[in-house]
Amino acid sequence: MNLKLKIWRQAGRKTKGQFQTYSLEATPEMSFLEMLDVLNEKIIEDKGEPVAFEHDCREGICGSCSMVINGQAHGPMGMTTTCQLHMRHFKDGDTIVIEPFRARAFPVLKDLVVDRSSFDRIIQAGGYISVNTGQAPDGNSILVNQDDSKEAFDAAACIGCGACVAACPNASAMLFASAKVAHLAFLPQGKVERQKRVGRMVAQMDKEGFGNCSNTYACEAECPKGISVDNIAKMNREYFSSSVGSQKD
C-alpha cells in the first residue's frame, strides 16, 4: 500500500504547528501505530525528527493512543482505539490526515501528543471512594442490584482517552465526567460521597475550560468503549440533587 500521510508537526506548546506530508509504503497487516513506527524509522534514517505520538498498552485499554485520523477521533472504525485500528481499513493511494485532539483543555505538547492532565484533576476532585470498605471479602459481601451493577460496569469501562472531547463541537468533557460520576453513584460504596463528588467534579471540569454539552451525541458515536450519553443525564440528576441538598443544609 502506497500512502500519503499529512501529519501535524509542532515542536512545543508555544510554537506554531503545521502539516507535513510523507510518503510511505505499508502493509494491510500493520496496526496504525506500527505504520507510524515504520514511518519514524524512515525519518530517523533520513536524519529527521521522528513524529511524537502517545502509546502504551497497544491493546485498547490505556487510552493513550489518542489522535484524530481523517477528521475522526481514533479513526474510521467504531468502538476502536487507534492502536487497534489496522491498515487493511485503508486503500492503496489513500491520503491520511493525522492530527492531535483539538481542545483548549488539551494543549499540544509536541506533534500528536496533548496534555490530558485536566482529566486527572477532574478525577482528583472527587472521582474516588474514600470510605473504608474493608478487605475484598467485606466488599464482596455488600449486595448490589444486578441492574445497578451492570450500569456501573458499563460506565466504568471509560478509559479516559478524550475522544469525547475531540469529537464534541464544544470540546465538552461531560461524557467522561458523567461516566466517572455514574459508575460510583450506582454502587452503595459510592453513595456516601455522591453529593460532594458530583459538585467537585463538575466545578473542576468547568475550571479546566471544557465546553458545555449541546446533545449532539458525537461523544457517544466516537467513544471507543461505547459509553452511553445516558450517563450525562444521570450526572445532571446527581448534580441537581446535590444542589438542592446543599441549599437545604
Is the separation of the CB atoms in 208 and 105 below 8 Å?
A: yes
Mean pLDDT value across residues 62-86: 97
What residue segments make up the domains of the chain, in order of their start?
2-110, 117-248
State the CATH class of domain 2-110: alpha beta
The dihedrals phi and psi of 8, each to the nearest 5 degrees, come to -75, 125
CB contact set of 109 (below 8 Å; sequence gap of 6+): 12, 13, 52, 115
Is the separation of the CB atoms in 121 and 204 below 8 Å?
A: yes
Residue 135 confidence (pLDDT):
84
Residue 245 confidence (pLDDT):
66
Is a pLDDT exceeding 60 seen at residue 248? no
Of 3, 8, 37, which Cα lies nearest the Cα of 23? 3
- Rounded to an integer, what distance in angstroms lies between the CA atom of residue 69 and that of residue 65? 12
Residue 249 confidence (pLDDT):
46
Q: What is the DSSP letter of 58?
A: S
- The better pLDDT of the pair 97, 141 is held by 97
Percent of the chain with pLDDT over 90: 90
Tens digits of per-residue pLDDT, 161-184?
999 999 999 999 999 999 999 999
Q: How far is C-alpha 142 from the geometric centre of its chain's CA atoms?
A: 31
Tens digits of per-residue pLDDT, 23-57?
999 999 999 999 999 999 999 999 999 999 999 99
Residue 134 confidence (pLDDT):
81
Mean pLDDT value across residues 121-150: 89
Is the separation of the CB atoms in 219 and 168 below 8 Å?
A: yes
Residue 246 confidence (pLDDT):
59
User: Across all residues in the chain, what is the average pLDDT?
Assistant: 95
Q: Please, which pLDDT band fits residue 137 given cuts at 50, 70 and 90?
A: confident
Q: Please give the grid coordinates belonging to residue 105.
A: 483543555
The two domains 2-110 and 117-248 share their CATH topology (first three levels equal) = no
Q: Please give the grid coordinates belonging to residue 238.
A: 446527581
The CATH number of 117-248 is 1.10.1060.10
Residue 96 confidence (pLDDT):
98
> How many residues in total does the chain contain?
249
Residue 244 confidence (pLDDT):
81
Tens digits of per-residue pLDDT, 223-233?
999 999 999 99
